[in-house]
Structure 1
Amino acid sequence: MARIEDYALLGDLQTAALVSTGGSIDWLCLPRFDSPACFAALLDTPDAGHWSLAPAAGGTCTRRRYVDDTVVLETEWVTHDGTVRVIDFMPPRGHAPDVVRIVEGVHGAVAMHSDLKLRFEYGRVVPWVRHHGDRIEALAGPNRVRLRTPVPTKGHEMSTVSDFTVRPGDRVPFVLTWSASHLPSPKTVDAEHALRDTLTFWTDWSKQGNPVRGPYRDAIKRSLITLKALTYEPTGGIVAAATTSLPEQIGGGRNWDYRYCWLRDSTYTLQALISAGYLAEAKAWREWLLRAVAGEPDDLKIMYALDGTRYIPEAELPWLAGYDNSQPVRTGNAASDQLQLDVWGETLDGLALARNAGIARRDDAWDLQVALMNHLEGAWDQPDNGLWEMRGARRHFTHSKVMAWTGANRMASAVRAHPELYGPADRWEALAGTIHADVLAHGYDADRNTFTQSYDAPGLDAALLMIPRVGFLDPKDPRVLGTITAIQNELTEGGLVKRYNTSESDDGLSGGEGLFLACSFWLVDALNLAGQKTEATKLFERLLTLRNDVGLLSEEWDPDTGRQLGNMPQAFSHFPLVTSALQLHAGRGHHSSHPITAPGDPAA
């Protein structure tokens, strides 16, 4: 089985595929990110659906890369018989989703083998396949897939296979196209034209935004491109990851579906995009957000489907063995019904950031923010499930209270800075002061000089590293410095940061997890803001070494095996990479430098 870091991403801004170093597409959902997979070998065996295209002799590729600043992947094998290159990409969506693969002969004569095994509904449905000259058609229920290629194909053991040889100058295309079975079949794209168009699209997009130079340029650009590829273009929503159920511990049960739009993740992605100058994407996200959260402010969800749907029921797929036998495999996400108070603050913070970046204001956007703030005003002191979606008893999480403070702070600041915006700034400032004092009284352990995960409890939480970033306290405040030190002493392994101690938690979940990569980037930011730039830079550059060969990060890192863990690629890993890099190299990035502190607080 391929390692999680062996996969590269292909995408068309509406769905994504994962292709391994062995040349196999083992994950693809059509027509959307959250549609049932037609290739699900990632979560089972090849019999659950895959498409391998590689030298007949097999084996891992010799090298691979994305073409410049694009999502066009080149995978190359150097064999005893010669050298061959496979070019994989998904053209930005036209009338239908396409996967295009071009086999290019480079040197010698290399025998190639294609094995296409379509299995709809997450590996459960075998389609009826018909051959028509240079194309095949696979049909099952609502799904129709056509494959067009000039090389001969045949059926073999419930797969469609092709065997052919390429020599220097040969370019053999394969074009796979999905369509709804009740509609007329869309026209098949020309592979070479689609390649040129796809290269142009990504190259032009990458040139937008602020110029990026310096030692972290390639890492920043690849992360920004990955975030863009995780955007559902029709609505502007941003999925947390392209996959479901990749485990946080091999053999464990923390396997979740991340193919949805978390408000928290999307807001942090917005921060990265704005910091890098990609305002069009930020505006599209803002419009998606306003549509998604419209309604009663007390019904704000922590996540939504790509189109803003609120109901995301969780189910298990028992016929799939799970990645490396890590069960269960889940679709949907029951955490969508949790109360996570920090989301109100993060949403208000994100909208404030968009406003300050000059993205056009709308009256209904402010009306919505006032409604969200009015609800937060009456709900901030409730226990909740917290940032990490704890499935145990609700608690008073310190991070949730800090983000409630952030919401009140941003709203009061907006009214002060923008006379055309209405609202009780004095009342919101007073509320911010009340929350601030409450956090210091119950979320800070003076004996240990550290903030704690929840009120009047000893456990730590990496989310506490966000305290200086949102402006709750000065980055060099002794309480902030003490929290950084406590987290380094108690929540790190090999210098990388855990979210919290799962062994001490009542989160209601079984099994452990790896080191959460975003948390280590938060430590980078906290150290940098505290004036410890050398230490911050050292940690950041170590984190860069954890990316795979094409610059992608999953959710977590296993220090024992040196492997990536969790869903892939993970927006929650890539957006902090961007903001950390910009802060370290250019002094850009998002943090509040003028917080409103509580009267009488020592930091005021």
Structure 2
Amino acid sequence: MRRRGALGPGSEPFAPIADFGFLSDCETTALIAPSGNVEWLCVPRIDSPSVFGSILDRDAGYFRIGPAGVEVPAAQRYIPGTMVLETTWWTQGGWLVVTDALLMGPWHHENERSESHRRAPTDYDAQHVLLRTVKCVNGSVQVRMDCMPVFDYGRTPAQWAYTGDGYQSAVAAGAGQRIDVHSDMNIGFEGSLATSRTLLKEGESRFVALSWSSHGAPTTMPEAAEQLRWTVHHWQHWLDRGEFPDHPWRSYLQRSALTLKGLTFSPTGAVAAAATTSLPETDGGDRNWDYRYTWIRDSTMTLWAFYTLGYDWEANDFFHFITDMAEQSDGHLQIMYGVDGRSELPESTLDHLSGYNNAKPVRIGNGAYTQAQHDVWGAIIGSVYLFVKKRDRLDDRLWKIVVTQVEEALVHWKRPDCGMWEVRGEPQHFTSSKIFCWLAADRGARLARLRGADEADRAVLWQKAADEMKDDILANALDERGVFTAHYGTKALDASVLLIPLLGFLPPDDPRVRDTVLAIAEELTEDDLVLRYRAAETDDGFSSEEGTFTICSFWLVSALVTIGEVERAKTLCHKLLSYASQLHLYAEEIDAHTGRHLGNFPQAFTHLALINAVMQVIGIERGQRLFPFS
């Protein structure tokens, strides 16, 4: 499929996951390889079929602009405070800078979203344009552009045609999709490849704009420069709204906040778990999942992160999304939903794709949406509790949701489930699931007391249920050492119990909490990084290994702070921050032996846990103890 002379991925090795740059317009996302190739872009939404998918198969589409010939970039960075990426090349003839952005523009009234979805003062609209500009900063450089879309996850090559009087506007179509390309360079076609070549001298610039809607893509360099300026302004203005402590780790908090915003689907407020599907959790393995959906389990941590950093609008948008889902579910809340709120996410495999570094299968959809996971009720009630504490108001609509979800937790808490790690083995009585059911009852009781005398009886009933759950957990989830285990009837450890002191299930000075945190730190780690569990001890339905889960390592930082092991927490936090990519991004996992990032990228849950851990460490340094979810 790749045409002779094209500079696409071809047989080149896959770039390390952590080396990709991440772009977003809060409707879709793109990943840019260090080579300058766009290797992942789905349009029009984050969960749509890919147009460029060479991160999953070298023949599944790419879009490159850079020096003609094979050149290694000298540097890659974000324009400070933005999601606009700059890649710099040194060639024998001169220096070249490529700037990439998914364009954002001023909001127009005709694009008003639903009445319940309020807009932040700095909200801009996605322009549905990927803009790539290239500038020669000194000397002269031969520049080449190659654009080879392959629609529908690499199944349908593009059919190109010119759309203007000259050779600078073209359209590619296939599989019911189309993209338009505008440039100030002449474009030629070689089958399914659109290509251009030009010599740039010092101070000269060119642009290529790829669009997928009726929004006005730039057609001249001045228009491109103006729209790029608007996009830079949007991100910097958005970041300025945040409240970040003056601390050496501030840049990690800011990039994590930008990443969470970038993973937010603006039309609904939903936060996707990651931008990608099927990036493997182990080299060549089969633990390859589609994470372009939103998990109810993540809601409490997402709200806390946004509220803590001063992004109340984003927190409230996500809160309204999850409460809409809860209201529509009529008590049958799923663990995840599409970012547009759809409930069915059927899983299938794309057997024509080779997978990242030959890791198969490539999956789209996620069959775990049908699983029974009992943490959802605690997550939703914990979110309501945070929201009510922030606003000091519990209206009748929210109260009805609280009643429905707490009652569901009371009905189901004694049953086994698949746990927060979505194991595909036999259901178990997972400790973390029981604790989240306790959270639903306990926070439900607190909310009932806020309703006053009318709900006094319900408050007593729910508190009694919460106490019964706690007694059951303490009777069945501790080993002979007084350490919390993964589930009833096992001695195996599980990192999810690190949430016990953060959720307020037991006070941090309880010896069982301390012993559990230290046992995980000593027995469930590789080179200080935390595993979810040891695969040999847990029936998760797979025989392959996996890397350390970075969210769990950041949970350990937070848990160490709560039990008073502050210096140990600081040391681990320093180490974890050193594993960040050069752009301060994280995938889901880290190989403790090589430092390689594994799994989907960038991962919202990891960045949420980073914010929590870093704020805990900074807080304790300043004499403030934070118990975010209690």
Contact 2:535 2:543 in 1 (8 A): no
Counterpart for residue 188 of structure 1: 217
- The one-letter amino acid of 2:358's match is N
DSSP 3-state at the match of 1:97: strand
Counterpart for residue 469 of structure 2: 435
1:497 corresponds, among 509, 530, 548, to: 530
DSSP 3-state at the match of 2:44: coil
Counterpart for residue 419 of structure 2: 386
Counterpart for residue 163 of structure 1: 197
Distance 2:251 2:379 in 1: 29
Cα shift readout 1:153-191 (whole Å, capped 9, x = no counterpart): 111253111111222211211100013xxxxx4432331
Counterpart for residue 99 of structure 2: 87
DSSP 3-state at the match of 1:9: strand
Pairwise CA distance, 1:95: 7.3
From the superposition, tell whether residues 372 and 297 of structure 1 become closer, same or farther in structure 2 (CA, over 3 Å).
farther
Contact 1:498 1:516 in 2 (8 A): yes
1:11 lines up with 2:24 in the alignment: yes
DSSP 3-state at the match of 1:467: helix
Contact 1:297 1:375 in 2 (8 A): no
Cα shift readout 1:27-61 (whole Å, capped 9, x = no counterpart): 0000001000000100010x210101121132331
From the superposition, tell whether residues 518 and 417 of structure 1 become closer, same or farther in structure 2 (CA, over 3 Å).
same
- Structure 1 unaligned residues grouped into runs of 5+: 180-184, 595-604
Contact 2:156 2:175 in 1 (8 A): no
Counterpart for residue 90 of structure 2: 78
Counterpart for residue 557 of structure 2: 524
Contact 1:279 1:359 in 2 (8 A): no
Output aligned runs, 1:57-456, within 5 Å.
57-92=69-104, 94=125, 96-131=127-162, 132=164, 133=166, 134-179=168-213, 185-189=214-218, 190-358=223-391, 361-419=394-452, 422=455, 424-445=458-479, 447-456=480-489
Contact 1:99 1:177 in 2 (8 A): yes
DSSP 3-state at the match of 1:227: helix
Cα shift readout 1:59-86 (whole Å, capped 9, x = no counterpart): 3311111111110111111222111100
Is the deviation greater in 56-65 or in 306-315? 56-65
Distance 1:122 1:252 in 2: 20
Distance 1:304 1:98 in 2: 26
1:39 corresponds, among 52, 63, 67, to: 52
- The one-letter amino acid of 2:159's match is W
DSSP 3-state at the match of 1:87: strand
From the superposition, tell whether residues 548 and 589 of structure 1 become closer, same or farther in structure 2 (CA, over 3 Å).
farther
Is the deviation greater in 196-205 or in 161-170? 161-170
Aligned residue pairs, count:
587
TM-score (normalizing by structure 2) = 0.91
Distance 1:156 1:589 in 2: 62
From the superposition, tell whether residues 554 and 433 of structure 1 become closer, same or farther in structure 2 (CA, over 3 Å).
same
DSSP 3-state at the match of 1:450: coil
- The one-letter amino acid of 1:227's match is L
Output aligned runs, 1:545-564, within 5 Å.
545-564=578-597
Cα shift readout 1:325-360 (whole Å, capped 9, x = no counterpart): 000000000000001101110111111111111276
Q: Identity over aligned residues, as a percent?
A: 39
Counterpart for residue 50 of structure 1: 62
From the superposition, tell whether residues 295 and 186 of structure 1 become closer, same or farther in structure 2 (CA, over 3 Å).
closer
Counterpart for residue 30 of structure 1: 43
Cα shift readout 1:516-575 (whole Å, capped 9, x = no counterpart): 000000000010111111110110111111111111000000123321000000001101
Distance 1:362 1:151 in 2: 58
Distance 1:245 1:464 in 2: 27
CA RMSD of aligned residues (A): 1.6
1:21 lines up with 2:57 in the alignment: no
DSSP 3-state at the match of 1:48: coil
- Structure 2 unaligned residues grouped into runs of 5+: 1-13, 106-124
Contact 2:281 2:287 in 1 (8 A): yes
